[in-house]
Amino acid sequence: MPSYSRRDALKALPALAAGLAGCASLTGRDDSLPMPTAWTAGVRTPTRALRPPSGPLLVGTGSPFHADPMVSALDPETGEERWAVTGRKGYRSPLGVDDQYAYLFSKAGRATAVDYEAGERAWNIGLTGVGSADPGVVQYPPVVADDTVVFPISGTENDVVDRLLGLSREDGERRFRAELPASLAGAPASAPAGGGSQAGVIAPILDGTVRRFATDESESWRADVGASPSSVAVAGDTVFVGSATEELLALDAATGELRWRGSLRNTVFARPLVSDGRVYVGGADYFLYAFDAETGTRLWRRELAGPVTCGPTRVGDRLVTVVGSDLLVRGHSGTVPFEPTALYVHATDGTLLGEYRFEGYLDGGTVNWVVAAGDGVYVGQEWQLARLDAGVLDAE
């Protein structure tokens, strides 16, 4: 198991102590978010919001209750619900999308596609061995690869067959099944065809490998990175992955060969962001980094108040990053609370533009994620979805 920080301050607080700290701050404290919001909407455990170019704002819910919608479409300007699709009782995955459907799967043992223009199910397929698994089995979203949508079925316990299941985007017909040698270490990413390789999925595995699977279920390559890697990002012909060896790695997407490695001071929890020839990555070492995507040269590094657990995400020429909060770490750690929780706004050159601390009790509960969707920035909490006011990004 990796050491997540060399600082004593990063040691996880016991859950009871964290709970007592929250209760002690109920009196005499503003319980709204520490930055202006455009709107808030009541959504129980919202999954990361998405906004396809031709569609509404889409959000799922990780709630196990059938009354909570699997997928909702919201007006991005007001937060008002346009439609909602419910399903059977069971925890659900985050959403994956293409140009027509939103995809998810649940512990109710179903894989579902929803037409997000019509607000109706397109297909609903049964899954085996999911209902009895731990809730972590639905931690990662489906991935679209060419004409196939791949469902990453992988738990945090030894109670499910870890596998990638490929279904037809059009009708849910089974395309392939690729069993994994161990649990996923992070979220897989789609890899387009190129360099002699078919379209497929690149998956980080807890056995310390990164593997590429084609949509015919063949394993195109595997790269041994020496320790459990983070979620992966694919940009053009390069794969980027943060490793518990305290490095950011760049691999050839067609062959898996190492192109460069960038030095960090600890492991990585969140998916790297690739934009305009740069790779931005946050570590458990309290730093946000920028590297040149071609050469691996470090361009800058900025200190933060805690380990990066979400982001960065890019909005225009701004980077928005979350540190702290509760995080489900694959391996032996389980859900770990990190303190403090804060949201940072940086310019792409690393200039700090804003820092917002989430302290004490908050309407909507613990902050879990922040994401850019369309022209908005959204924050997901335990019981609330909020769109940030544009002024949050305008600071100089």
Distance CA 58, CA 141 (A): 13
* Amino acid 395: pLDDT: 64
Average pLDDT over residues 85-109: 95
Q: Which fold has domain 187-262?
A: Thrombin, subunit H (2.40.10)
pLDDT above 90 for 217: no
Longest dimension (CA), the chain: 63
- For residue 303, what pLDDT band results from cuts at 50, 70 and 90? very high
Number of neighbours of residue 181 by Cβ within 10 angstroms: 11
Strands 174-179 and 163-168, sheet pairing: antiparallel
CATH of 1-15+43-184 among 3.40.190.290, 2.40.128.630, 1.10.1060.10, 3.20.20.370: 2.40.128.630
Write down the pTM of the prediction: 0.89
**Rounded Cα gap, residues 200 and 176, in angstroms:** 11
Which residue bears the tokens 């140009």?
A: 99
Structure confidence at residue 93 as a pLDDT band (50, 70, 90): very high
Confidence grade of residue 334 (pLDDT, cut at 50, 70, 90): low
**Structural domain boundaries of the chain?**
1-15+43-184, 187-262
Sign of CA dihedral 259, 260, 266, 270: negative
List Cβ neighbours of 84 (8 Å cut-off, separation of 6 or more): 69, 71, 72, 73, 119
pLDDT, tens only, 160-211: 999 999 999 999 999 999 999 999 999 999 998 877 778 899 999 999 999 9
Beta bridge partners of 143: 150
**Interacting residues of 3 by C-beta distance below 8 A, sequence separation 6+:** 266, 267
